[in-house]
Structure 1
Amino acid sequence: MKNRKADDMTDTLQAVTSEDTSIQTHNGYGTTLAAVTYLPAGFDAEGSYPAIVVSHPGGGVKEQTAGLYARKLAGHGFVTIAYDASFQGASTGTPRQLENPYIRTEDVSAVVDHLTTLPYVDADRIGAMGICAGAAYTANAAINDPRIKAVGTVSMVNIGQMFRNGWDGAMADADAAPVLAQAAAARTSDATGAPDGNQFPLAPLRKEDAPSPELEEAWEYYRTSRCEHPNAPSWMTTRSLSQIVTYDAFHKAETFLTQPLLLVAGSEAGSKWMSEDLYGRAASTDKSFHVVEGANHMSLYDGEKYVEEVVGALAPFFTERL
C-alpha cells in the first residue's frame, strides 16, 4: 500500500521554488552575502509567512547541507534562506576563507535584517538553525538578537571549544596555546607580504589525515563526489585561529538565550558533548534535545534516513514556536 503522506511530502518538496538572493551586510566590512531563498509550495507574495535562516558548517557552502535543510523546511511552509558566509563561497570579502566567528555570527543577523524587509515575511516569526559550526553561530546570534524567535541546531560544534578542547572535549584550554602562536605567526606572515600559504584545514584535506573514522567521513563529505563543491575548499586562513581559539559561542547563554531551543545530535557523534553543554547552559525554559540513534556527526549532513528524522523534529518545532 502506498504511503500517501510520504507522497504528499514529495509533491510539496517538488513544488518548492528557489531564487538567488544578494544580501548587503552592515557589519562594517561591507560584505555582500550570496544566498538562495526557498519559497514554499503555493507561495503567495501577498501572504505572510514564518521564515528560517539556515547557516552552513565551517568550510561549507549553501549548496551543501544548509541548502538541503533549507529546501526541506520550505516544504513545510516556511520561507527559508541558505547563504554563504562573508569571505566564503560566492559571498564577497577578503581575505578569502576567513573564518571570523564574530562576523559569522553577524552574518546570521544580517540575514534576519534582510528578512524583516520582505513584505511576505512576518518579522515576529523568524527562526534560525544551523549545522555544525553554523549551529553554534546561530545560537550566538540568538543570544545577541531577540528578533530570532526560535533556534534549532544540528550536529552543533562550538568552534572555539573544539579548537581549545578537541573534538571529544578531552583537552585542557591551555593546550591550545601553540595554536594561538601559529595564528600569530600567520598574521605576521600576512602583514609582511609573505607568499600565501596560511591554510588551516577545517576538515581533513586527505583521507590519511583523518584521526578517526568519524572525521574520515568529513574528508569524504567535502573532498569526494559525496558532496564536494568548488566553492567549499574545507580550509580557512590560519590567521582565523586568533579569533577562534578564545571564542565561546555560548557566552552569556545562561542569561540571554531565552528563545525556544531544539538541539539535535547523533548518539555516536564525537561532537555531541557541545550540544549537551549548551543544553545545560541555555536560559530557555522551552528546550529539548533530540538524539538520533546510531548517527554520528556527519550522518546528519546528508544521510537520507537521518535527515528525514531531523526534519521530522525541526519542522513541528518551528511550526509550533513561530
Structure 2
Amino acid sequence: MTTRKINFKNSNNGNITMAGIIFLPKEFNETNKYPAIVVTHPGGGVKEQTASTYATKFAEAGFVAIAYDASYQGESTGEPRLLENPYIRVEDISAIIDYISALPYIDENRIGAAGICAGGGYSLNAAINDHRIKAVGGISTVNIGAMYRNGWGNEAKDADAMPLLMMAADARAKEAQGTDGGKLPFAPEKKEDAPSKEMEDAWEYYRTPRAMCSTSPGYLLSRSLTQLVTYDAYNYADAFLTQPIQIIVGSESGCRWMSEDIYTRAASAVKNLHIVNGANHMELYDIPQYVEETASIIVPFFQNNL
C-alpha cells in the first residue's frame, strides 16, 4: 500500500483548497479502475487520525481510499479557522467525490462513504443527498445536531438547547464587531474535566500522544452552534437513504442510541447494525482489537455492495 498527499480546489467553494491523503492498494495500476471510499474524520479530528486508520484497512482490501481534512480545519484552507458547519461538512464529501470521479483510475459507479463519530453522521447525510454514494458505513456514528440538542446519552429535550443558540448568536455578534466570539472544546481539555471513562478516553485520544496532532486543536468556534443545534444528519433518511448501510457501534457507547436511530430510520433495504461487545465510543477509533473487529465487518460490507 502506498499513499499520496493531495491538494485541490473545493468544487463548492473555489476559495478553499482541500488537503487529503489517497491510500492506494497493493500493486496499484493507474490503467485499472478501482472502487473508492471517502473517509470522513470526527468533529475536531483530522485526516491523520482514525480516518487514516480505516482508510488503510480499505486500501489493504483493494479499494482506493481518501481521508481528508474538512474545510476550515486541519491542512485544508478556509476562514474562519475551526468552523464546524455541518452543511459544509456534508458538501465537502460531495466535493471529494467530484474530485475523485475525475481520476482515471476511479470507477465512478463504485464510490462509497464511511465516517467515524460525527463523520459517520455526515457520511450518512451525504448519502441521503448525493446518490453517487452507492454504500455508506458509520463507525461510532454521531448525529452531531442531536448530540447538542439531546446530550451524549439522549437525556435532554430539544428545547433545552436554546441557551446554546443564544451563545452562538452572542458569538456571531462579537465577531461582527471585530472581537473574539470564543470557541468550545470537542473533548475535555483536562483529564479531571472528563465526566466519564468514555470522555476520559476522548481527552486521552485528542490531548495526549495517543493520537494528538498539531493540526487538530480539538475546538470549534462557538458561532458554529448556529447551524449545529438545529441540524439533523438523518433528515429524510426514511425517504431518501436507500443505499446499503453498515452501522458499527460499541456496546458500551454512551451515544449508541444514535446508531440505533439511523438503523431504524433508514429506508435502505440492506441495512446492518453490528455491536462491538465491550467497546465504548472512542475505543473503535484506534484500539487494535476493536479496529480489527470493525474492519472485519465494514470491509466485506463494501466489497459486497460496491
Task: Check the 8 A contact 1:23/1:111 in 2, yes or no.
Answer: no
Whether 1:284 aligns to 2:268 is yes
Does the residue aligned with 2:15 lie in a helix, a strand or coil? coil
Whether 1:126 aligns to 2:108 is no
Does the residue aligned with 1:149 lie in a helix, a strand or coil? strand
CA distance in 2, matches of 1:184, 1:208: 30
Task: Check the 8 A contact 1:87/1:93 in 2, yes or no.
Answer: yes
Equivalences for 1:64-103 in 2 at 5 Å? 64-103=49-88
CA distance in 2, matches of 1:143, 1:32: 25
Partner of 1:266: 250
CA distance in 2, matches of 1:170, 1:51: 38
CA distance in 2, matches of 1:310, 1:136: 17
CA distance in 1, matches of 2:15, 2:275: 39
Equivalences for 1:177-192 in 2 at 5 Å? 177-192=162-177
Deviation of 1:28 after TM superposition, in Å, equals 3.5
Equivalences for 1:55-66 in 2 at 5 Å? 55-66=40-51
Does the residue aligned with 1:150 lie in a helix, a strand or coil? strand
Does the residue aligned with 2:202 lie in a helix, a strand or coil? helix
Does the residue aligned with 2:263 lie in a helix, a strand or coil? helix
Partner of 1:20: 5
TM-score by length of 2: 0.99
Does the residue aligned with 1:164 lie in a helix, a strand or coil? helix
CA distance in 2, matches of 1:120, 1:294: 40
Partner of 2:223: 239
Whether 1:229 aligns to 2:222 is no
Farther off after superposition, 177-186 or 29-38: 29-38
Q: Any idea what the Cα deviations from partners look like across 1:79-118, whole Å, max 9, x if unmatched?
A: 0000000000000000000000000000011111111101
Q: Which runs of 5+ in 1 are unaligned?
A: 1-15
CA distance in 1, matches of 2:258, 2:15: 32
Deviation of 1:210 after TM superposition, in Å, equals 1.4
Deviation of 1:29 after TM superposition, in Å, equals 6.2
Partner of 1:106: 91
Farther off after superposition, 26-35 or 90-99: 26-35
Task: Check the 8 A contact 1:55/1:129 in 2, yes or no.
Answer: yes
Q: Any idea what the Cα deviations from partners look like across 1:242-269, whole Å, max 9, x if unmatched?
A: 0000000000000000000000000000
Task: Check the 8 A contact 1:23/1:110 in 2, yes or no.
Answer: no
TM-score by length of 1: 0.94
Cα root mean square deviation, aligned: 0.8
Task: Check the 8 A contact 2:153/2:255 in 1, yes or no.
Answer: yes
Does the residue aligned with 1:112 lie in a helix, a strand or coil? helix
Q: Among the aligned pairs, what percent are the same residue?
A: 57
Q: Which runs of 5+ in 2 are unaligned?
A: none
Question: Which residue of 145, 170, 185 maps to 1:201?
Answer: 185
Question: Which residue of 1, 7, 16 maps to 1:31?
Answer: 16
CA distance in 1, matches of 2:14, 2:140: 29
Does the residue aligned with 2:65 lie in a helix, a strand or coil? strand
Does the residue aligned with 1:228 lie in a helix, a strand or coil? coil
Whether 1:219 aligns to 2:203 is yes
Whether 1:40 aligns to 2:25 is yes
CA distance in 2, matches of 1:319, 1:180: 42
